[in-house]
Amino acid sequence: MTRHVEPEVFLVARPELDFDELGRYLEDVGGLSWLERLDRDQLTPQDLAEFAGRLCYRSFEPGLNPNVTRIRQDQDAYLRNILASAHGSVLEHLSFSFVLHNVSRVLTHELVRHRPGVAISQESLRYVRLSDIPFWFPEWAREDAELMKRATEMLDRMEEFQIWAADHFGLDEPGVEFAVKKHRTSFMRRFAPEGVATGLVWTANVRTLRNVIEARTAPGAEEEIRLVFGRVGELMREECPALFGDYTVTDGAWAPGWRKV
């Protein structure tokens, strides 16, 4: 019986700063007053973005760089200026890792087009044997009774084949080597649709995230990837409001106030 699933997004890793090491560096260059504005117990990824930007101009406080006579004290204002001036390299230091769960291979095939600033580890169906075909149906499809009847019939047949093939190859019999299981499982995965639900760890830096959120929530983007990256956008706005607060969301499309950062 076809199992309907919903795509989910889990934010599983974010940047972590070392307050003491920052202090060692800043003591050497004379910027400890900047560090004193931070709470060592509540450091955020945005602190890293600000630190990297200020290092570029040695603008931790006035006077460290003779060319800098005044500095922005407010972090939000500082980071908004980073975005407005398209100083995007600063944002590449901030990487976040997501688990994209119950997403289709339709989505993952599109997502691999975004390569700069990205790391991917995807569930391998060469090793992971399918016992069913978990599948996401958009709401409009679920409302079409005849479509659902025909679609689920096809998926049920594919599920039956996976179970039959495993038995036919004797994959669960004692003593079957893993190399044999892998070889047969790789063959069996060819009979699963691109829409089968899978999972991956997807890591991207903030510069890339800004681009992908805009591109993959645009009105012309594929509907599943729009759903997933709308959620990614929500998570990032919670994590880094100063770096993602310039977006306006209209009918699910995320448009940044500053492009080509």
69-95: pLDDT as tens digits: 888 889 999 999 999 999 999 999 999
Does 131 lie in the same domain as 85?
no
* Structural tokens at position 166: 């495993």
Residues 145-190: tens digit of each pLDDT: 999 999 999 999 999 999 999 999 999 999 999 999 999 999 999 9
Does 68 lie in the same domain as 21?
yes
Position 98 in a domain: no
State how beta strands 248-250 and 197-205 pair: unpaired
Q: What was the pLDDT predicted at 69?
A: 82
Closest CA to 201 of 82, 59, 100, 79: 100
Position 213 in a domain: no
Long-range own/partner contacts, residues 217-224 (CB < 8 A, 24 or more apart)? 217/252, 217/253, 217/254, 218/253, 219/251, 219/253, 222/106, 222/107, 222/110, 223/138, 224/7, 224/103, 224/104, 224/106, 224/107, 224/136, 224/138
* Given 80, 105, 216, 226, the catalytic residue: 216
Domain end residue (candidates: 47, 75, 92): 92
What is this structure's pTM?
0.94
Does 29 lie in the same domain as 85?
yes
* Structural tokens at position 133: 């075909």
Q: What was the pLDDT predicted at 49?
A: 97
Q: What was the pLDDT predicted at 192?
A: 96
pLDDT (mean) for 54-77? 90
Q: What was the pLDDT predicted at 8?
A: 98
Does 72 lie in the same domain as 19?
yes
Q: What was the pLDDT predicted at 226?
A: 98
Q: What was the pLDDT predicted at 94?
A: 98
Residues 103-149: tens digit of each pLDDT: 999 999 999 999 999 999 999 999 999 999 999 999 999 999 999 99
Residues 215-244: tens digit of each pLDDT: 999 999 999 999 999 999 999 999 999 999
Position 107 in a domain: no
Position 166 in a domain: yes
Position 157 in a domain: yes
Q: What was the pLDDT predicted at 70?
A: 84
Domain end residue (candidates: 164, 191, 218): 191
Position 239 in a domain: no
Position 35 in a domain: yes
pLDDT at residue 22 is higher than 80: yes
Q: What was the pLDDT predicted at 141?
A: 97
pLDDT at residue 63 is higher than 90: no
Q: For this structure, is 216 an active site residue?
A: yes
In whole angstroms, give the CA distance from residue 221 to residue 252: 11
139 to each of 8, 145, 156, 224, how far by Cα in Å? 16, 12, 20, 11
Does 77 lie in the same domain as 141?
no
Classified as helix, coil or strand, 128 is coil
In whole angstroms, give the CA distance from residue 177 to residue 157: 28
Domain end residue (candidates: 92, 112, 145): 92
Domain that holds residue 37: 15-92
Does 134 lie in the same domain as 87?
no
Domain count, the chain: 2
pLDDT at residue 1 is higher than 80: no
Position 110 in a domain: no
